[in-house]
Amino acid sequence: MVEVHILRQDKDLAVRGLLKRGITDASDQIDQIVALDDRRKDLQTQKDELLHQVNEKSREIGNLYKSGRGSEANLLKTQVGEYKTEITRLEASMDTTMETLEKALLSLPNIPHESVPAGQDETANEVVDTHGTIPDTDSQDLRPHWELMEEYDLVDLAMGAKVTGSGFPVYKGQGARLQRALIQYFLDRAVDAGCMEVIPPFMVNADSAMGTGQLPDKDGQMYYVEKDDLYLIPTSEVPVTNMFRGDILGLDQLPKRLTAYSPCFRREAGSYGADVKGLNRVHQFDKVEMVVIAHPHTSYDMLDWMVNHTRSILEELELPYRILRLCGGDLGFTAALTYDFEVYSVAQKRWLEVSSVSNFETYQSNRLKLRYRDENGKTRLLHTLNGSVLALPRIVAALLEKYQTADGIEIPDILKTYTGFDCIKKG
RNA sequence: GGUGAGGUGGGUGAGUGGCUUAAACCACCAGUUUGCUAAACUGGCGUACUGUAACAGGUACCGAGGGUUCGAAUCCCUCCCUCACCGCCA
């Protein structure tokens, strides 16, 4: 949620920012929010005043009884009764006001960072960097990863479909070992870079899903276990960020840098077509994530740091990639600035998103009540960030396609010590 | 899943309807004193909302949510969590 005081102080800035998301009535929405907040304050003050009266009168009543003046006490009691009916009325009015306010705030997405380009969809995303050469594939007979998976018996989609359903791959043999090697390598690199590794729960409660913004908006994207009222995590961002929900951190504890491996579960309702072929889009996949909790002054430095980290991994894997700055229309609801990483799939001849690195500023921490204590002892909201080091399936897809040869699939040098083999062969 | 015991500030822990404005101790911060370290003493020490130019002031919060009462940490109801034992189990 955007902080109300920001909307009050920098309304023009907010309006201009939200316009980049294609929101044209932001000014009206903000006016409404501020009016509701004013009303809330007013009701609060009235209610507090009455409660103050009740407290004082109650004390008096106690004293009167003690000195044996029961009739005077009874007189006061009726007066307190009147206060209380009024308080009940104010409370009802406050409840509806706050409910409306909450709703209005939840429907307002984060204000994009000033560097975010305006635009409706991914065509307006800005390519900020491209690295590596895209091979001239016309002359080569490169095969897509789903064929390679099958030929070398690395990933079995049919088997997963039998066991669970479509989109739940079974990794087998060298395919499984490659998967495990990549996870281990990503984690090692993140730990070396200064992150603390955690293994979070893979299910979260509704409070956590609310804290990072999956609820109430993206309800349909998560798997839900009704019997226990729990959600399977769509990314480890959710449990890892929520580990700090409600905390007040000292300046000496910042920035907090964490990394976690987890499987990610996504319903992907409504996806179809060529996008979902092979490992392009699945319901369960592995990912190594980084979560950073930072002081507002350094959060954009941390964002750069995360971007550079992911960049270095892709370079070590020697995969061609590009970095996009998402435009307003493509930016996630809760993010202020997002860089997407895409690797080039040489057989599919298209870019695949493998990482998304975002700064949420105070949008999440406002819900999470995640704060720090500043030099003057005041509590203020922290900035939260997260980014995939990399999501596995599309990396595997890109690796298989790029490193295929007539004799087998080669393993990038950096991974060889992790896999324990240099080349994927048949049988 | 069953039975029992619990959940109070950063920590330990008192508190069974109004002298609680949550004691006391520890930790922490500031000051006083003192060759240094330390100790002693004094004061301060939660969060949120509201309010003020800034103070002050007000309200709420003792696991969560309801209820009883003029008044609830304290009584009642529901739920959550922790611990112990039992059952089941990797």
A331 shares its domain with A359: yes
A54 shares its domain with A129: no
pLDDT at A275: 73
Q: How far apart are CA A274 and CA A270, in angstroms?
A: 13
pLDDT at A15: 96
Strand B proximal residues, A:189-248, Cβ < 7 Å: 248
Residue range A52-80, pLDDT digits in tens:
889 888 888 888 887 777 777 888 888 88
Has residue A108 got a pLDDT over 90?
Answer: yes
A283 is in an annotated binding site: yes
Structure ipTM: 0.84
A317 shares its domain with A275: yes
- CA A245 to chain centroid, in Å, comes to 14
A354 is in an annotated binding site: yes
CATH number, domain containing residue A95: 1.10.287
Has residue A217 got a pLDDT over 80?
Answer: no
Q: Is residue A264 part of a domain?
A: yes
Has residue A362 got a pLDDT over 70?
Answer: yes
Q: Is residue A114 part of a domain?
A: no
Q: How far apart are CA A78 and CA A83, in angstroms?
A: 9
* Residues spanned by the domain of A79: 4-106
A23 shares its domain with A131: no
Q: How far apart are CA A98 and CA A36, in angstroms?
A: 8
Among all strands, which nt has the closest C1' to A47 (CA)?
B59
> How many Å does it take to go from CA A377 to C1' B23?
27
Going by pLDDT thresholds of 50, 70 and 90, the confidence category of residue A332 is very high
A256 shares its domain with A293: yes
Q: Is the CB of A177 under 7 A from strand B?
A: no
A51 shares its domain with A179: no
Q: What percent of chain A has pLDDT over 70?
A: 98
CATH number, domain containing residue A411: 3.30.930.10
A13 shares its domain with A99: yes
Q: Is residue A113 part of a domain?
A: no
Q: How far apart are CA A75 and CA A78, in angstroms?
A: 6
A92 shares its domain with A220: no
Has residue A140 got a pLDDT over 80?
Answer: no
What would the DSSP string read from start to end of A104-135? HHHTSPPPPPTTPPP-SSGGG-EEEEEESPPP
Residue range A377-400, pLDDT digits in tens:
778 899 999 999 999 999 999 999
> How many Å does it take to go from CA A270 to C1' B72?
53
Q: Is residue A272 part of a domain?
A: yes
Has residue A273 got a pLDDT over 90?
Answer: no
Going by pLDDT thresholds of 50, 70 and 90, the confidence category of residue A180 is very high
| Lowest mean pLDDT across A90-99, A215-224, A309-318 | A215-224
User: A381 - beta bridge partners?
Assistant: A371
A214 is in an annotated binding site: no
A131 shares its domain with A83: no
Q: What's the domain count of chain A?
A: 2
Has residue A272 got a pLDDT over 70?
Answer: no
DSSP E strand boundaries for A113-247: 126-131, 155-156, 170-171, 196-198, 203-204, 224-225, 230-232
pLDDT at A378: 79
Q: Whole-number mean pLDDT of chain A?
A: 91
Q: Averaged over A262-278, what is the pLDDT?
A: 81
A100 shares its domain with A137: no
Locate tokens 């979070």: which residue? A200
